[in-house]
A and B are shown apart, each in its own frame.
Chain A
Amino acid sequence: DQQVKQNSPSLSVQEGRISILNCDYTNSMFDYFLWYKKYPAEGPTFLISISSIKDKNEDGRFTVFLNKSAKHLSLHIVPSQPGDSAVYFCAASANGGTSYGKLTFGQGTILTVHP
């Protein structure tokens, strides 16, 4: 039972263009969402997060959008750079801030940014 789903295993984008990574969830108890980035031979690193009381959070080139009614969130990277090529994991938690970091992850999307 995959409660967090990333339905696109891979995405290929040209440098300078926008990358849009999508994530859907089924558990309506989830109230805090995160994106992690993972390079080969390294552990995932935290990228950006959003609480369910917001619908948008921005950090430099990265913006996360949350649509609670559709149970959908997306990560926008503008402009995309070759160094953004990595695996991106969407994650969610219930009782955000009190769940001791117990996260449910999606399957991941491999982003490739071509020069």
Chain B
Amino acid sequence: DVKVTQSSRYLVKRTGEKVFLECVQDMDHENMFWYRQDPGLGLRLIYFSYDVKMKEKGDIPEGYSVSREKKERFSLILESASTNQTSMYLCAAGENEKLFFGSGTQLSVL
């Protein structure tokens, strides 16, 4: 099975800080995704990428950007963190709809 690793399990940042969330997959999957999970809202797609240096906006891209310089690594960037970006962030990889998810990063913005 694909292993998707997110660099931090918990992260606490201050409002206005620039935040990097890193994700690495150990298989050769083209497609990678960033979701956030919030109570009562489920998982919502922030950005996805289907090739190196390619990126597509998901349903809630505002306040976020991404970087995919290498096939195995997909980074989510919060340019200026805000309290409404406190959430669980989940990275995923896969070739089709059967995605493999990382364990998530719980980000708290104070």
Q: Mark B71-107, 1 if CB is under 8 A from A, else 0.
A: 0000000000000000000101011111111111000
Query: From A92, which residue of chain B is reached at the shortest CB distance?
Result: B97
Q: Are A100 and B90 in contact (CB-based, < 8 A)?
A: no
Question: What's the Cα separation between A93 and B31 when bound, in Å?
Answer: 15
Selected contact of A43 from candidates B4, B45, B58, B95, CB within 8 Å? B4
Contact A105 to B42, CB < 8 A, known contacts A43-B90, A100-B48, A100-B50: yes
Residue numbers in A under 8 Å from B96 (CB-CB):
97, 101
Residue numbers in B under 8 Å from A32 (CB-CB):
97
Residue numbers in A under 8 Å from B50 (CB-CB):
100
Question: What's the Cα separation between A91 and B103 when bound, in Å?
Answer: 18
**Residues 1-28 of B contacting A (Cβ, < 8 Å):** 4, 9
Name the interface size band of chain B: 20 to 34
A99 within 8 A of B: yes
Query: From B29, which residue of chain A is reached at the shortest CB distance?
Result: A101
**Residues 28-53 of A contacting B (Cβ, < 8 Å):** 32, 34, 41-46, 49
Question: What's the Cα separation between A106 and B44 when bound, in Å?
Answer: 9
Question: What's the Cα separation between A53 and B40 when bound, in Å?
Answer: 30
Residue numbers in B under 8 Å from A99 (CB-CB):
97
Q: Which residues of A contact B (CB under 8 A)?
A: 4, 6, 9, 32, 34, 41-46, 49, 89, 91, 93, 96-97, 99-108
Q: Which 7 A-B residue pairs are closest in the complex by CB-CB distance?
A: A43-B101, A105-B43, A107-B42, A105-B42, A46-B98, A100-B50, A101-B94
